[in-house]
Structure 1
């Protein structure tokens, strides 16, 4: 659930962490990270970086 006070800032509260909530929590954190990164890139006026494979040559 969203944190009661800091939810608008994207904070998350986990009331009872454990094995049952581990997968869901990790996915929520990944999603939050993607949103924060996209917001950061948008505010800097850049497109998100494209991932390049190791050893690939950019042309």
Structure 2
């Protein structure tokens, strides 16, 4: 799945205290942190045989 950064921020914001990699990020920096991690991991995610787009609902 490839949700948008906004979707990931909304889902992960309440969980930052429970997730060590996210614990040091404020609400303002969480989106940038997630974006950087996704960029680093993209080459692995693109190798998936099945990709589900999770864009915004219309």
- TM-score, normalised on structure 2? 0.34
Structure with the bigger percentage of strand? 2
Give the structure, 1 or 2, with the largest relative contact order (CA under 8 Å, sep 6 or more). Answer: 2
